[in-house]
């Protein structure tokens, strides 16, 4: 294996496992207000069990990953199996199988609103091309990291086109594609050797392009909101930054809230994956998804070898050999696209 390939695999693992850390840390705090989080748990800095009546996370052990990580791994596998043309039917069936399996496990954390609506439409005979026409929440962005691992950023048109292709069945809207393109671009820049600031710049460029694709839906501009969200928290102390993110950026499932929030977290954490996970877990709202996105992007820019191994050892529900195999397959596909591997020398 070349040096460039092993470095890219380390970054790819950083993205996937970093995302899992953010997801699992935010699992017990998701859907709660910041005040309720403080009452129930204090300041969350380590994996904890959800309180017994948690609406979706009840019964899960501390450190358990959720839909964000599971669906990212699922999408990664479908990408590898699909080859050059993304297999929509296989993807939709995989999501349905996933939900069946999750229900059988007794989990309450099922498919999100856009994905659910799209799959219901497909089951009623709507073609995959049309099913995602109103999907504008953050489900596409939360699971997009594998696209960023597999696809080199250049040419940007091809990169964003691949993002849009994977969003089509469930999130075929300007806002969701722009959001997913931003997150995927940050991951791709990290896998290419870029730091978190480079990754943020690439994200903004990709979001601008992504916003021109899919069905237009109303909502704040993703690229502009990422720049603004990072700007308002720049140089702020963590507690003040958390306040700005919850009060102004927003932490809901709307893409135009949670995705810029994840970039603001990346800024406050200065690219540190565990710090990004901790900040996200205390935000309230869609903490696990914001954490998965922020810590995943940070992990792509730092690499697996710089993630906190003591926390990784306590993750529940993540098969590390599966993650390693997927990272290797996605990086192999990436290297085949860029030929000599010059991208990794950035
Ligand atoms: Mg989740």
Domains of the chain: 3-345 (1.10.4080.10)
Q: Ligand 1 center to residue 55 CA distance, Å?
A: 12
Q: Ligand 1 center to residue 317 CA distance, Å?
A: 13
Give the pLDDT of residue 330: 98
pLDDT tens digits, residue range 169-183?
999 999 999 999 999
According to DSSP, the residues that pair with 173 across neighbouring strands are 215
Our measurement of the distance from residue 49's CA atom to the centroid of its chain's CA atoms, rounded to an integer in Å, reads: 22
Binding-site residues from annotation for Mg(2+): 66-68, 286, 288-289
pLDDT tens digits, residue range 116-159?
899 889 889 998 778 999 999 999 999 999 999 999 999 999 99
Give the pLDDT of residue 195: 98
Give the pLDDT of residue 208: 98
Q: Quick one: 16 exposed, middle or buried, by C-beta within 10 A (0-12, 13-18, 19+)?
A: buried
- Is 205 in a helix, a strand, or coil? helix
Quote the CA–CA distance of 286 and 257 in Å, as a whole number: 10
Binding-site residues from annotation: 66-68, 286, 288-289
pLDDT tens digits, residue range 225-237?
999 999 999 999 9
Angle in degrees, 0-180, between the axes of helices 255-268 and 273-281, rounded to the nearest 10: 130
Q: Ligand 1 center to residue 344 CA distance, Å?
A: 31
Q: Ligand 1 center to residue 66 CA distance, Å?
A: 5
Our measurement of the distance from residue 12's CA atom to the centroid of its chain's CA atoms, rounded to an integer in Å, reads: 13
Q: Ligand 1 center to residue 160 CA distance, Å?
A: 24
- Is 162 in a helix, a strand, or coil? helix
| Residues whose CB falls within 8 Å of the CB of residue 262, separated by 6 or more in sequence, listed in order | 183, 280, 290, 293, 294, 297
pLDDT tens digits, residue range 12-37?
999 999 999 999 999 999 999 999 99
Quote the CA–CA distance of 289 and 81 in Å, as a whole number: 25
For residue 227, count other CB atoms closer than 10 A to its CB. Answer: 18
- Is 30 in a helix, a strand, or coil? coil
- Is 173 in a helix, a strand, or coil? strand
- Evaluate if residue 81 carries a pLDDT over 50: yes
Q: Of the ranges 88-97, 190-199, 298-307, which one carries the lowest mean pLDDT score?
A: 88-97
Quote the CA–CA distance of 191 and 172 in Å, as a whole number: 26
Q: Ligand 1 center to residue 24 CA distance, Å?
A: 8
């Amino acid at each position: 294996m070349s040096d460039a390939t092993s470095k890219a695999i380390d970054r790819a693992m950083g993205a996937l496992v970093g995302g899992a850390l953010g997801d699992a840390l935010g699992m017990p705090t998701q859907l709660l207000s910041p005040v309720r989080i403080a009452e129930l748990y204090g300041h969350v800095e380590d994996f904890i069990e959800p309180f017994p009546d948690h609406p979706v996370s009840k019964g899960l052990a501390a450190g358990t990953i959720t839909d964000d990580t599971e669906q990212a791994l699922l999408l990664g596998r479908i990408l590898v199996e699909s080859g050059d043309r993304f297999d929509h039917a296989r993807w939709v069936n995989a999501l349905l199988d996933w939900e069946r399996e999750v229900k059988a496990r007794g989990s309450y954390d099922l498919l999100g609103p856009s994905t659910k609506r799209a799959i219901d439409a497909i089951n009623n005979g709507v073609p995959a091309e049309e099913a995602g026409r109103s999907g504008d929440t953050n489900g596409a962005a939360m699971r997009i990291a594998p696209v960023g691992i597999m696809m080199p950023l250049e040419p940007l048109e091809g990169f964003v086109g691949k993002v849009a292709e994977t969003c089509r069945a469930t999130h075929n809207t300007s806002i969701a594609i722009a959001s997913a393109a931003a997150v995927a671009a940050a991951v791709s820049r990290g896998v290419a050797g870029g730091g978190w600031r480079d990754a943020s710049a690439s994200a903004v460029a990709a979001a601008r392009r992504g916003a021109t694709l899919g069905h237009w839906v109303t909502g704040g501009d993703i690229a502009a909101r990422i720049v603004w969200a990072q700007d308002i928290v720049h140089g702020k102390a963590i507690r003040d930054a958390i306040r700005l993110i919850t009060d102004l950026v927003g932490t809901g499932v709307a893409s135009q809230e949670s995705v810029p929030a994840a970039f603001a977290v990346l800024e406050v954490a200065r690219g540190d994956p565990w710090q990004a996970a901790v900040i996200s877990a205390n935000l309230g709202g869609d903490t696990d998804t914001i954490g998965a996105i922020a810590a995943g992007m940070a992990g792509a820019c730092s690499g697996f070898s710089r993630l906190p191994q003591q926390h990784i050892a306590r993750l529940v529900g993540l098969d590390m050999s599966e993650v390693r195999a997927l990272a290797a397959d996605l990086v192999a596909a990436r290297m085949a696209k860029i030929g000599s591997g010059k991208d990794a020398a950035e």
